Structure 1
Amino acid sequence: MKQYLNANISDMKIGYGKSDINANVLVYADISSVPTLYLIGKDNSGKVQQTTVKTYPDQYSVDPEVMKEIINDVFTLYPAERKGVAFSSHANGSLYTPNTVRKRAFGDEESGYSMNITDIREALEGCPYMDVIMFDACLMANMETAYELKDRAHYFLAAPNSIPAEGFPYDKALPHLLKMDAAGLARAAQAYMKHFQNNDVEWDDFVSISVSDLSQMNALALYMDSLFQDEAVQNHLMKVDRDDLQMFETGFQLYDYGEWVDSIGLSSPYVPKIRTILDEAVVYKEYSDYSSVNDYTAMPEIPIKDGAFSGLSTYVPPRVSQLLQPGYDMLMMRFFTSLKWYRDAGFWRVPLYNIFEQDSEE
């Protein structure tokens, strides 16, 4: 991981050298003897340079309070009209893992501690509103994460499947990322796709990406809540077999959000309304023929079906009969009831989901 992050920083310097935008690029990295905040900038002659801004005591970088402090340090020391933040690490999307400085969806320190998406949202509360939040981390383009972060940024750039270990090609993407508007973010996403589809590593060809307008998330939640008021939809939802849906990574219970909505909605008039808003929310999306790597046959390729890529994934539980057995899905369902998406989108109305609500505060 450290070698990739060091390479990313080097690529950022190359990418910044290509940009005509006057920007402060701050990088916080906990990969050396002490956690360090760096500035990538240009000297008076225009030469790109990297300088140390601040060092921190040994700390858990995935602690929400620590993350909040670092982000506020950045915007206090270097105020700017446009703002964005990119998170780079391991991740498993909106899924729950019980191992935190408080639980993992994002992050993977040597300590083993990580963050849930609720922790990331908490870390960003009190920080300035962003133009973009980006995840250079696997599986983060999902509805649950987008909704948790909807009040923290305008745009959301992430991948619904895995990202190759080397991460974003910042030498190519950073000049576009720094524009922090829909067109620039789309071009950054295109640079990501082109880089991995055209490189010499055969098993890097599985990439996909999306850019979403988070200002549309409230409308999606409103129509979802209306859909879930239909008792027939509630009953049908409990019978949906997730094995029939488009998944994005073996072993992770994340499936295409748009296809899932189509599968649960019966003939509800709210389904086309949801799909219309979803198409407006996902301002850019691109995908390869398959979504999972075939790395020396260690993992099977997962083809992406025609019409089964909306740009965002979502957690889908197993059928209700399978939830009666203790296991990961039961833990995940309890966690799900703590999410803003659960409450605002009306999942609390559905027996498949609300049977775990009483346990969500434990």
Structure 2
Amino acid sequence: MKKWLYTLLVVVLAACSNEIPEQQPAKRSGRTVLAYLISNNKAGSLDTYLRDNVIDMYIALGNMKESCTLLVFYRPYTGDTPLSNPTLMSFYTDGRGNVNSQPVLSGDNLTFEAVCQIAQKKEYTMNSQIATDPVVMKEVFTDMQIVAPSDSYGLILGSHASGWMKGNSVQSKAFGDDDGYNIDIPDLADVLKNSFSEKLDFVLFDACMMGTAEVGYELRETTSYCIASVMETPVYGFPYDQILPYLYSENVDYSAVCHEFVSFNKTNNLWGTCAVMDCSQMENLASAVKAKLSEWQDALSSVSMQNVQQYGVGSYRYFSYDVLDFFRELGRKSGVVKTTDLNEAIASVQSALNQAVIAKDCLSGVDYDFDGVVIDGTRFCGIGMYILEEYNPYVANKTAWNDYYKQSISWYHAAGWDDLNLN
């Protein structure tokens, strides 16, 4: 009789295994990793690659030697299958080769469709709402925390992006592209701050051009660390089968995360940069930049911007310059000529960068040229920043960029640009 009841219980539980349970789950120790992926963009340009990313995350889970949880919100390309609606998928591995109580898929059985099939799921109809709407994002992040209460969270954001720039302007995407709609970075920072009671352990941007001082500064109250590239990110994204185990570690090896990303791009004959910002140090970096800009402001109009490492291509060319390389050039124009003197003169900025950028890696040299941008590894500090039209002739016609930067981006004031004498 007991055996019959046990068998019946197993059957009932198995039948419900693809639905997120209604009852409050027990809180798990350690970190839960969350992913917010948006593929509903022009012609589904990222759909194939984001699907592959989910498969790679699943592979990593299957290889974990400890139990852990992964939640993936996936906004599919309109009319796509197997997910007809935006869906929150939950995956739990026991650390013994099982995901959601089933042996890990492999070989020909390992497909996006199969991975979605075993996921515990919650669908969102959204109607006219979009995945970059702050209300929608907050709802999903709240649901994630209900599904998987945890000591802490790390967040992966995957989609198109264009750094600090305003969405729906100058062909910009800010973060996310859901049928052309985006969320601006100050608004994203507010969503994260309002959605989580504690700072996120990290935010990883699997998206273009997010590795800037402006982005890191906006996120300083929402996350401890920001992982991003200052350049455009190849569509393949991060190699999650390699990096996900690092993201579950109590003390994340951020240097290894950067190295794996850059090594993956090198293997695939691509380009790439990756850096990790300690967002708690962005105030200190802003102060160092502000002090040096004030000290050398008379030389700003003399800076030869063509001599500074820049990271943008196409319509985004000149959106971001290497922070330290800019001060090297500014120092030369200020009269600090000797290399030893120059290094000493910019030591305050270098010191602040050493604290703010805790890991970095890049593919440097002409073999990794991307649309005319060649990274000089000896000049790569990890992150970039915008140089306004008053001091940069290359953006003199970027009215929308400059106006939005001054009105909405906190770094503009924190770094002291607004205090400079423009005469």
The normalised TM-score by structure 2 is 0.73
- Matching residue of 2:50: 5
User: Aligned AA for 1:227?
Assistant: K
Change (3 A) 1:221 1:149: same
- Matching residue of 2:306: 243
Maintained 8 Å contact 2:246/2:252: no
Maintained 8 Å contact 1:36/1:52: no
1 CA distance for matches of 2:121 and 2:87?
8
User: Aligned AA for 2:360?
Assistant: K
| 2:123 corresponds to which of 44, 55, 65 | 55
What do the CA deviations read for 1:118-151 (whole angstroms, capped 9, x no partner)?
A: 1211211223211111101111111000000011
Q: How many residues align?
A: 337
2 CA distance for matches of 1:288 and 1:158?
15
User: Aligned AA for 2:288?
Assistant: Y
**Do structure 1's residue 188 and structure 2's residue 263 form an aligned pair?**
no
Alignment of 1:1-362 (within 5 A): 1-31=46-76, 32-42=83-93, 46-49=97-100, 50-58=118-126, 59-99=129-169, 104-110=173-179, 112-128=180-196, 129-179=199-249, 181-183=251-253, 185-199=254-268, 202=269, 204=270, 206-230=271-295, 233-251=296-314, 252=316, 253-265=319-331, 266=334, 271-290=346-365, 300-320=371-391, 322=393, 327=397, 329-337=398-406, 338-351=408-421
Percent of residue pairs identical: 27
User: Aligned AA for 1:77?
Assistant: V
Maintained 8 Å contact 1:99/1:114: no
Q: SS state of the match for residue 24, structure 1?
A: strand
2 CA distance for matches of 1:21 and 1:272?
43
- Matching residue of 1:358: none
Q: Report the CA distance between 1:210 and its aligned residue.
A: 0.9
User: Aligned AA for 1:273?
Assistant: S
Question: Which runs of 5 or more residues in structure 1 are unaligned?
Answer: 356-362
Maintained 8 Å contact 1:291/1:301: no
Q: Report the CA distance between 1:180 and its aligned residue.
A: 5.7
2 CA distance for matches of 1:68 and 1:250?
33
Q: SS state of the match for residue 81, structure 1?
A: strand
User: Aligned AA for 2:290?
Assistant: D
Q: SS state of the match for residue 60, structure 1?
A: coil
Q: Report the CA distance between 1:349 and its aligned residue.
A: 0.5
Stretch of structure 1 that moved more, 276-285 or 261-270: 261-270
Change (3 A) 1:211 1:38: same
Q: SS state of the match for residue 176, structure 2?
A: coil
2 CA distance for matches of 1:351 and 1:74?
48
Change (3 A) 1:324 1:55: closer
Change (3 A) 1:93 1:291: farther
Structure with larger Rg: 2
1 CA distance for matches of 2:135 and 2:56?
29
2 CA distance for matches of 1:229 and 1:24?
48
